[in-house]
Amino acid sequence: MIIRPITPKDLDALMQIAVESGPGFTSLMPDRDALSRKIDHSVESFARTVTTPGDEHYLFVLEDSATGQIMGTTGIEAAAGLSRPLEHFRRNAVIHHEEDPRKRHVEESLTRCQHYTGCTEVCSLYLRPGFRRANAGKLLSRVRFLFMALHPERFADTVIAEMRGVSDHAGQSPFWDWLKHHVADLDFMSATQLACCGQSGFVERFIPATPLFTRQMTDAARAVIGQVHEDTRPARHMLEREGFRHRGLVDLLDGGPTLECARSDIASVRDTLLTRARLQKGNRSSWNIAGNTVGSAIVANAGCSGFRATVTEQVLPNPDANSLSVPEQLANELNLGGYSLACYLPLSQSREESRGRQQPCQKPVTEEIRYAH
């Protein structure tokens, strides 16, 4: 498995993924022309020289090394909400005051707001069902944070993830099924397409700025506020292990939660280490060198448009030489030359372990990032 930036030759596979993922996967809609523009924008974003995050969008694909098939996608929006507003519902507790204090009561409301403008957004994570195997999901999720650690100037201080809300196999959302009777009598797919293509004035025309009280909702709609689609639960759990938390903002159409975390507090950003590649013949068991076993790890070159990453157990950090021993064949797949910059992120080490145990060799990439360009 190799993660790399998307290219125009991946359009057919991306279109297939957009169809497979179904309604509600709003960052990849099944519109071939729109997907082609998204690919072009990503290619240009990777090629830019960036000192501060702007409208860049970085879309990666996971490729099966043996067959060349595209297994899935993952992406990063450098600064969301710049070209068009990023809007949510904020969950609020509303206190109703009465002359008799004993009669005061609290109820929940949803109020439309713009809150995360300019924040970095992780998005477009999808692993195709036929390719679901060990570490594939971890690679798609955590490689984005390794890339942020390598290129911090490209990303904002706060990172968010808009999670797919609850919908059924037919694409019906309990949240929208209630809301549409109060705002716009459109099916969920049509509303999603209008919102995602930036249809002028869609939100302002159809989603009220005045509070919506959850007591007025159906039980089914109220129950899914802040909940995620069943296929999204593993992604949410991974993000929560990274340090992401839900702060009360939900999607306007399906009620799915938005999670957030300071970039510097993301576990995989903190744990990504930068070193030098030391090419070795054969596999690790035959190397006559001292090193520290890291188990499974994401290993990558330190490039941008030429970025490559994979998951492997066949690397060995060398504390004394500040280097990472890598099999020659793997180094070739990752475009790693001898003693070129490389980085790695151990997958087996938990956030708590990484805090409590001193790293024996390389420093966090953020301390040496000046050498990565």
Where in the sequence numbering do the catalytic residues fall? Answer: 229
d(CA 71, CA 208): 40
Q: Burial letters for 6-44: b for 16+ Cβ neighbours within 10 Å, e otherwise? A: beeebbebbbebbeebbbbbbbbbbeeeebeebbeebbe
Residue owning tokens 């510097």: 264
Q: Burial letters for 186-212: b for 16+ Cβ neighbours within 10 Å, e otherwise? A: bbbbebbbbbbeeeeebbeebbeeeeb
d(CA 18, CA 30): 5
d(CA 344, CA 342): 7
Taking residue 145's Cβ as centre, other Cβ atoms within 10 Å add up to 26
d(CA 286, CA 302): 27
